[in-house]
């Protein structure tokens, strides 16, 4: 039998070797990690495939040839780690079932992976990624369950129904709470699912296969930017589109063959230097930092919420130990990645530009926008009483998209050096929708409130005063004809100089 080289670029199909074919008995001396162990120090690399795995292969090599071949290309194969070693289950586990004489589970959870990959799972479980399933209690999921959906999808786990919009949309990236039905099968509303923050039947959070696609678990695949693009794309967080527009993405696609993606050791500045990928910046090794599976430890700013926060603040709110890694420490970590290719002056100047954009977003749009929305909501609740429902009026959507779509885009785009997104899908959309939709809708709410009872009129007066204060501020006074004449004169002079230059 020809050995399969893990890092070889040559791919070939192979027939099941004789010792894997049904009916052939192989005497194996096996000392392998049991399901009760949780530390890599307990692991003894087996001399050959276990009897249990051979039995699995006896059928699945023919029934699921794609899975068999993918496993054959994997490092698991060369390490003699097979089907049973990953899928074995203990009696009493919620999703365990008897299958041809073996007790197994369909889902291989992070807890299962930690039998060998202790460090990686520990880092992952303390990251934002593993907590992605917490969206199910958030505003985003309310949108999918109520506004976009209904309770038309009924399963054993959801006899009262669940929204197919949430099941097929939100849960597929963020993760479902996997339910096990009475017959031991996984409920179809919650499985299949490889959402990053999936809550597994064994209680663990996360899905390693969200990134490391089974059953090959290729390092080349997981290092490519498209791997992150399944979830990190679209109107609210278009990271894959931003990467493709950026110089980083342009260089990657132009020089992919020089990226050394198959290498076991993959250190930026040593094993490759033509471009970074998502993994390079957020996870992979540098000359002075090891690989990490906590993707937040190189990100200073959390650009997801309406107002800019530092990432360690979110970690603290979630009770994660990484909260002790402050925003400035995380920024220093990212700079260690950047200087593998750029000089320090370049990096510092980039952060000056980026942080100025964050401050602009926060001060001009987010802080006044959020204050106005909160006050407008008070007015609407007073006017509508018990008939008030969030997202039953246009202003709810307008404000949501200002921060959730345009506001995120401008922040993420600036962080990834994607100038067209920063301008035309970020700053421009923010300005157009703030002045063209949000302010007129606020004035409509004010008018509704002033036509109501005494409490509605009072609240509408407060909103009117707040809107006037915002529009008369330095950032917005131009929109009501009150721009500082000196500022306008300076801009007119620059425009004249520009026109003279290109006569």
Strands 301-302 and 102-104 turn out to be unpaired
pLDDT in tens, 70-122: 999 999 999 999 999 999 999 999 999 999 999 999 999 999 999 999 999 99
Q: 149, 182, 185, 183: which is closest to 167 by C-alpha?
A: 149
- Per-residue pLDDT of the chain (503 residues), as tens digits, is 333 333 333 333 334 433 343 333 332 323 333 333 444 445 566 789 999 999 999 999 999 999 999 999 999 999 999 999 999 999 999 999 999 999 999 999 999 999 999 999 999 999 999 999 887 777 777 899 999 999 999 999 999 999 999 999 999 999 999 999 999 999 999 999 999 999 999 999 999 999 999 999 999 999 999 999 999 999 999 999 999 999 999 999 999 999 999 999 999 999 999 999 999 999 999 999 999 999 999 999 999 999 999 999 999 998 999 999 999 999 999 999 999 999 999 999 999 999 999 999 999 999 999 999 999 999 999 999 999 999 999 999 999 999 999 999 999 999 999 999 999 999 999 999 999 999 999 999 999 999 999 999 999 999 999 999 999 999 999 999 999 999 989 999 999 999 999 98
Q: Which residue has the tokens 């370049």?
A: 346
Q: Rounded to an integer, what distance in angstroms lies between the CA atom of residue 20 and that of residue 156?
A: 39
Count how many residues are written for the chain.
503
Q: Is residue 380 within 8 Å of 448, Cβ to Cβ?
A: yes
pLDDT at 29: 29
Please report, for residues 2, 3, 79, 83, 422, the alpha-carbon distance to residue 14 in angstroms, rounded to integers and kept in the order given: 9, 11, 17, 18, 49
Q: Rounded to an integer, what distance in angstroms lies between the CA atom of residue 311 and that of residue 411?
A: 14
| Mean pLDDT score across all residues of the chain | 91
Q: Which residues pair with 302 in a beta bridge?
A: 309
pLDDT at 74: 96
Strands 102-104 and 97-99 turn out to be antiparallel
Which DSSP symbol is given to 9?
S
Please report, for residues 67, 279, 322, 452, the alpha-carbon distance to residue 299 in angstroms, rounded to integers and kept in the order given: 36, 13, 12, 47
Q: Rounded to an integer, what distance in angstroms lies between the CA atom of residue 308 and that of residue 39?
A: 39
pTM confidence score: 0.87
pLDDT at 397: 97
Query: 292-295 long-range contacts, Cβ below 8 Å, gap at least 24?
Result: 292/123, 293/120, 293/121, 293/123, 293/124, 293/127, 294/123, 294/124, 294/126, 294/127, 294/322, 295/127, 295/128, 295/129
Element (H, E) at 248: helix 247-254
pLDDT at 5: 33
Q: Rounded to an integer, what distance in angstroms lies between the CA atom of residue 57 and that of residue 69?
A: 11
pLDDT at 503: 81
Q: Is residue 61 within 8 Å of 20, Cβ to Cβ?
A: yes
Q: Rounded to an integer, what distance in angstroms lies between the CA atom of residue 10 and that of residue 73?
A: 10
Please report, for residues 32, 40, 80, 478, the alpha-carbon distance to residue 114 in angstroms, rounded to integers and kept in the order given: 14, 8, 17, 58
Please give the full DSSP string across 313-340, using - where no structure is assigned. HHHHHTT-GGGGS-HHHHHHHHHHHHTT
Which DSSP symbol is given to 263?
-
pLDDT at 45: 64
Q: Is residue 175 within 8 Å of 138, Cβ to Cβ?
A: no
Which residues, in sequence order, are CB contacts of 433 under 8 Å at separation 6+?
398, 401, 402, 406
Q: Is residue 339 within 8 Å of 332, Cβ to Cβ?
A: no
Which DSSP symbol is given to 105?
-
Q: 182, 179, 199: which is closest to 190 by C-alpha?
A: 179
């Amino acid at each position: 039998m020809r050995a399969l080289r893990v890092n070889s670029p040559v791919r070939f199909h192979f027939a099941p070797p004789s010792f894997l074919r049904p009916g052939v008995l192989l005497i194996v001396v096996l000392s392998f990690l049991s399901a009760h162990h949780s530390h890599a120090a307990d692991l003894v690399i087996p001399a050959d495939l276990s009897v249990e795995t051979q039995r699995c292969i006896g059928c699945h090599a023919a029934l699921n040839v794609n899975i068999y071949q993918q496993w054959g290309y994997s490092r698991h194969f060369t390490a003699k780690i097979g089907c049973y070693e990953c899928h074995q289950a203990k009696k009493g586990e919620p999703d365990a079932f008897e299958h041809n004489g073996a007790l197994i589970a369909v889902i291989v959870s992070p807890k299962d992976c930690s039998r060998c990959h202790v460090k990686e799972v520990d880092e992952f479980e303390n990251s934002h990624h593993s907590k992605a399933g917490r969206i199910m209690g958030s505003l985003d999921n309310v949108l999918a369950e109520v506004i976009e959906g209904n309770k038309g999808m009924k399963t054993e786990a959801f006899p009262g129904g669940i929204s197919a919009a949430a099941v097929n949309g939100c849960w597929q990236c963020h993760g479902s709470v996997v339910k096990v039905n009475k017959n031991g099968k996984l409920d179809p509303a919650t499985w299949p699912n490889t959402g990053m923050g999936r809550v597994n039947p064994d209680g663990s959070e996360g899905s390693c296969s969200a990134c490391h696609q089974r059953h090959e678990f290729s390092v080349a695949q997981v290092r490519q930017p498209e791997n992150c693009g399944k979830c990190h794309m679209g109107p609210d967080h278009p990271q894959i589109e931003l990467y493709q527009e950026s110089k980083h993405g342009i260089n990657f696609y132009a020089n992919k063959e020089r990226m050394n993606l198959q290498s076991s050791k993959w250190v930026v500045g040593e094993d490759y230097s033509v471009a970074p990928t998502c993994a390079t910046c957020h996870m992979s090794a540098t000359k002075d930092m090891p690989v990490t599976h906590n993707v937040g430890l190189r990100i200073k700013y959390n650009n997801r919420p309406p107002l800019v926060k530092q990432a360690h603040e979110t970690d603290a709110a979630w009770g994660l130990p990484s909260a002790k890694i402050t925003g400035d420490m995380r920024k220093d970590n990212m700079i260690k990645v950047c200087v593998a290719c750029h000089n320090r002056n370049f990096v510092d100047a980039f952060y000056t530009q980026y942080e100025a954009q964050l401050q602009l977003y926060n001060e001009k749009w987010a802080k006044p926008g959020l204050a106005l929305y909160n006050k407008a909501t008070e007015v609407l609740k007073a006017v509508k009483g018990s008939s008030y429902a969030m997202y039953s009026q246009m202003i709810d959507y307008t404000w949501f998209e200002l921060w959730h779509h345009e506001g995120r885009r401008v922040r993420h785009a600036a962080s990834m050096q994607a100038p067209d997104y920063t301008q035309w899908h970020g700053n421009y959309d923010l300005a157009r929708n703030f002045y063209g939709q949000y302010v007129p809708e606020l004035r409509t709410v004010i008018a509704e409130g002033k036509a109501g009872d005494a409490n509605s009129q009072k609240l509408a007066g407060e909103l009117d005063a707040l809107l006037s204060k915002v529009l008369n501020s330095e950032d917005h006074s131009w929109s009501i004809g009150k721009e500082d004449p000196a500022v306008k004169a300076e801009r007119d002079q620059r425009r004249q100089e520009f026109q003279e230059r290109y006569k």
